[in-house]
Structure 1
């Protein structure tokens, strides 16, 4: 079941009185939350935010090159170049940021991986990703900590094998941990907070789409074989693992629950109108909330069957559900229309999709970060923990139940 308020279906989000907008500047991208800090980037500028200190800039991710700056790198990833092209193609991001531990940060800018050991003040390149990597190099879901190791999932779009890398020295050096040609690429790696295990998601064709675990240097599938197993982000609860289908051409995009120790097939617990990308969990007053963000995608999926075009909705959404309903009742917390740039009127000009990036912290709450949206574009909105149940309740004024499976 999905509940949606009609007035918020395509325009309104959790901004204004319904959330706390953070002053991080235009086109800010959130990274992760650690030790009470929300880490963010703007272009190649890195910083953090706290409730008491507000926005703090730390440093700038460098331009690779031994002695001469890489001009092409600056053009592709510089804030001013992106600002000049924004009216034509929309906003896009090529930077990811992950706080690790003890002041260590990891970042990707395009195909470069950088590491900082001094809270982001200085950076060093530590890895070059394959040339076939996507514009962001990896996805925001591509790094996790497990035990003493750091895992990084490459996101290749060509003929390279799919790989998950592992570092045993906080990102200074890397080795291949998993390599396979059975999937196109990995979408993410995730530490299971309730089990001593690392999970991964993979795509994109039916036989490549899989959710599974890492064991002894192998990717062991929990299930695969259809677009129901094509996931990006995972949300973990004590009793289940949840995700939304990452499929822009599906007749119905399902929100799915795989019970721990239960049936081998996931159960449909909700539906939405566009690919689900990112997920976050937040405990509130004894209940565990799961948030899932969808994307308003443009372009066609190269792995789609013939005649199956992109049917993504016009808005990127944030959907939430709680353990009180066993994650079977979903509320639309926010929706952001995709920005329509001038390039849409020009044949052959690529334009950007709209996304909502998520982060969550038990004390700070849920952070909602729409990107390339017509309103609230590049903003960061904080939903305090105590406000989440109230906002979900407000969103349930009209019941728009999903059709039966």
Structure 2
């Protein structure tokens, strides 16, 4: 009987570090301290060092990380934030939660990231920030984005939720703008065993504000100095993330090798396979192909017990919540939504599985 190839197997990934995860669990349980303790403090230090920034502040999830950063920079009602048209909706929602207006800019059709050549045309007197996303693990063109931001005196907040460990010109994503927000959702390259997120920055004031936002607007118990939320990365998840951070580069290298094998095996197909800039080293959060017969291909793979996912079937501007944006003409984002398909990709995926995925695709796409 043919076994199903999962899109992602967290159980197989975690099995390789199970003993260390068990020890982390016991350490936190025995400590009796579960919120804002030594594990979080240690993880924040370790992830800041890894990400080449001064501060890491753990929060409840990636959406809160982006939202809190916008608030920390005073971005709100009446302001505009430039966002990619091709991204997960959390990027847009963070802007809307702050009271600002997301202004979509189309992606480069090759990288799928926001196209810097189109950003200036979207800037108005109300623009305060550019929020690039390092989509699927590939860094956006940050030199070009930062140059535009400097010209117009704009803040740059990276959405680095999919790019932990990725490099842009030998610098870590998350360290390339004024600040960044990331997610530790279980399926991320650096994923917790629950939800979680963090902000990264070199700005002392921004880090201090986010620390207050996450904890009821307080830096001292029962003393509330600012608008506050309840959004804290807990001790258990911080302990698990400390273990996973130690193997992140190893796991990313494995993902990169799988991606290279896919690209080589699929070079004779009709598909569009990922294109990575010479200035970037992708974290390969996802391996995304494009097919004019995407839905047929997805169904065919499912029939052969190969799981795939569409990232993302409906662009943000066509979602019900953003009905006022339905009038936008964003043909590249809409084209990608109809063609993209993410193939199985995870640490511990074996050669036979990679070859089976590729061979099955070639049966219909060659």
Scaled by the length of structure 2, what TM-score is found? Answer: 0.25
Task: Identify the structure with the greater helix proportion.
Answer: 2
**Bigger proportion of residues as strand:** 1
TM-score normalised by length of structure 1: 0.24
